[in-house]
Chain A
């Protein structure tokens, strides 16, 4: 393959400047720094962004670390708090409560997963909850926070953390970074997308003031609308409503609870036909209710949401309608979709920003030239589709395992699920093992957290566990949970961690 002419991408045009647009702009500006490639973001200050994606998963920290940003810098810029996991309330049944942590449970022994030993412990009559073997979950329950050890001495010390952040402030921070790196910003609405008659590639976009913006590669970050990928390129939408009944949300900002320290976890609480989120930031809290409009009117949704906010409301509740699903082809010709234009899943596991990150990583690793080779596009689309499906299956799992009585929940429990998920649940039930697929965002420890949190345990544990004498097992597991309890006892509260962070900012910047 001899290079005969320069076919490098010369200009990238990103359409839409919400979270997805500015994350993409910042990452590409950094990745292609000191190359001649130019990057332009076209956004309109008249178009609002969704920007309610306030809970993240730990990959966000890797994302901004690649841009050279520190945790402290991003936390200061985005009014962030620390997140060790998600607290699920009333899902398994009303009154049930568990944390899905970012981290591991216990220590595997003799090549057998820890959870088999824990199940055997239960059979012996010891009811220690699984969370007592997870440092991340135990810290979260105690309202504590500390940075994880850089070189964890054992699996017991392994946990990770993410941020609760103000997504609009995050986008602004990334915008400053991208613009400082040479990214051009145009504030305008798009009037039309103009295709080349010969091959149907995007030639340019025409703005409302008549200007035409040309480019080699166009990135659609226009949100649900999919202005380029859907409306112009005709990539259709695969709807997953048959598995995921929720199709709307109300989002509302509130004050934080006056006498409560900010929790180091996201709250998700099951309601009669959906679920409510609660996310503590430094300056306010984010709240919302995701619900099924077939099972609940808007007024009923508001009646369940508004009395249960983390604090006094400070905005009017905003309604957002959505369709769970994905763009069949996330990349068509010279148009790539990233963010909500590529697909949507309800924010139950805080995946929206992570899906943006992975879309950006995929684009970087498969970055095209102006030949737009078909295998590159096919690989991108295959990876995107698989990742969305795996994430979808993990979300559906929560609905499938629920133990509530209301009609929507009953229908979810009894309804069909995708074959890929069926296979996972069946193997878990039969043998307590995890089916692994490529491009999964959630690893076995996360699946274990949900299964155990919903009391959906396998019929029997691994037979190899019986090679250990019951007394030895009690002793070994007792040592694990005591070690975790000691660490939790020695760790300061999340609020103290944040206060120390504030003092370090104040020391740097006396103004």
Chain B
């Protein structure tokens, strides 16, 4: 431990999200919001691969997630 913490000498440079279903796009959206352009962020998905997408009921923390992303729940 040190007395003068600094930015990490080996910071991440690029984050790649593989898969564009619900998990992929929620993860990408949250990281884009949290890191505000700090890292290069890329999502790879294929139109040829279907997503599961049957998770249609949520728990209350989902509303907090929307709020964090600045998404209006009326619109959703």
A-side interface residues toward B, CB under 8 Å?
110-111, 119-120, 122-123, 428-429, 432, 455-461, 463-464, 466-467
By a CB distance below 8 angstroms, the chain B residues around A432 are 5
Check: B57 CB closer than 8 A to any chain A CB.
no
Tell me the smallest distance from the CB of B27 to a CB of chain A, in Å: 15
Q: A463-B11, A463-B12 are in contact. Are A110 and B5 (CB under 8 A)?
A: no
- Knowing A463-B11, A463-B12, say if A457 contacts B34 (CB, 8 Å): no
Can you list 28 A-B contacts with CB-CB less than 8 angstroms, sorted by A residue number? Answer: A119-B5, A122-B5, A123-B6, A123-B7, A428-B1, A432-B5, A455-B3, A457-B1, A457-B2, A457-B3, A457-B5, A458-B2, A459-B1, A459-B5, A460-B5, A460-B8, A460-B9, A461-B5, A463-B12, A463-B38, A464-B35, A464-B38, A466-B11, A466-B38, A467-B35, A467-B36, A467-B37, A467-B38
Let me know if A456 and B1 touch, CB within 8 A: yes
Contacting residues, chain A, for B4 (C-beta < 8 A): 122-123, 457
Q: How far is the CB of A470 from chain B (nearest CB, A)?
A: 11
B37 touches A459 (CB 8 A): no
* Beta-carbon contact of B34 and A463 below 8 Å: no
- Min distance, Cβ A434 to any Cβ of chain B, angstroms: 14
Interface residues on B, range: 10 to 19
Number of A-B contacts (CB under 8 A): 53
Rounded to whole angstroms, the CA-CA distance of A456 and B3 in the bound complex is: 6
Q: B-side interface residues toward A, CB under 8 Å?
A: 1-9, 11-12, 34-38, 68
The answer to whether A466 and B5 have CB atoms under 8 Å apart is no
- A41 → B minimal CB distance (Å): 47
Tell me the minimal C-beta distance from A18 to chain B in angstroms.
41
A463 to B6, CA, bound (A): 10
Question: In the complex, A122→B6 CA distance in Å?
Answer: 9
CA distance A123 to B35 in the complex (A): 20
Q: Which residue of chain B lies nearest to A115 when distances are taken between CB atoms in the complex?
A: B5
Given contacts A463-B35, A463-B38, 17 further A-B contacts (CB under 8 A): A111-B34, A119-B5, A122-B4, A457-B2, A458-B2, A458-B5, A459-B1, A459-B8, A460-B6, A460-B7, A461-B6, A463-B8, A463-B12, A466-B38, A467-B34, A467-B35, A467-B37
Tell me if B8 and A429 are in contact (CB < 8 A).
no
- Please indicate the chain A residues that have their CB under 8 angstroms from the CB of B37 in the complex: 467
Question: B5 and A123: CB pair below 8 A?
Answer: yes
Complex CA gap A111/B31 in Å reads 12
* Closest beta carbon of chain B to A426's beta carbon, Å: 10
- Please give, as numbers and ranges, the residues of chain A lying within 8 Å of B3 by CB-CB distance: 455, 457
Contact partner of A110 (CB less than 8 A), chosen from B6, B8, B9, B34, is: B34
Query: Which residues of A lie under 8 Å from residue B9 when comparing CB positions?
Result: 460
Q: Which of B1, B6, B36 contacts A429 (CB 8 A)?
A: B1
Q: Tell me the bound Cα distance from A467 to B7 in angstroms.
A: 12
Chain A residues whose C-beta falls within 8 Å of the C-beta of B34 in the assembled complex: 110-111, 464, 467
Q: Who on chain A is nearest to B34 by CB?
A: A464
On chain A, the residues within 8 Å of B7 by CB distance are 120, 123, 460-461, 463, 466
Report the bound CA distance from A123 to B36 in whole Å. 21
Smallest beta-carbon distance A130→chain B, Å = 12
Please measure, in the bound complex, the distance between the C-alpha atom of A428 and the C-alpha atom of B5, giving whole angstroms: 12
Distance A81 CA – B43 CA, assembled complex (angstroms):
60
Q: Is the CB of B8 within 8 A of A458?
A: no
- B4, B7, B35: residue with the most chain A Cβ atoms closer than 10 Å: B7
B9, B11, B38 pick with most chain A CB within 10 angstroms: B38
Give every chain A residue within 8 A of B35 (Cβ-Cβ): 463-464, 467
| Closest Cβ neighbor of A110 among chain B residues | B34
Residue from B3, B5, B6, B9 having most chain A Cβ neighbours under 10 A: B5
- What's the minimum C-beta distance from B14 to chain A, rounded to whole angstroms? 13
CA distance A464 to B35 in the complex (A): 6
Do A458 and B12 contact each other (CB < 8 Å), given the known contacts A123-B6, A463-B38, A466-B38?
no
Complex Cα spacing A111 to B69, Å = 12
Q: Please measure, in the bound complex, the distance between the C-alpha atom of A322 and the C-alpha atom of B43, giving whole angstroms.
A: 61
Q: How near does chain A come to B35, taking the closest CB pair, in angstroms?
A: 6
Question: Which residues on B sit within 8 Å (CB–CB) of A455?
Answer: 3
CB neighbours of A459 from chain B (8 A): 1-2, 5, 8
Q: Which residue of A lies closest to B36 (CB)?
A: A467
Q: For the complex, what is the distance from the CA of A110 to the CA of B68, rounded to whole Å?
A: 9
Select one of B1, B36, B38 contacting A458, CB under 8 A: B1
Chain B residue nearest to A465 (CB atoms) is B7
What's the Cα separation between A466 and B35 when bound, in Å?
8
State the Cβ distance, B17 to closest chain A Cβ, in Å.
17
Residue of B nearest to A401 (CB): B1
Q: Which of B1, B4, B6, B8 has the most CB of A within 10 A?
A: B1
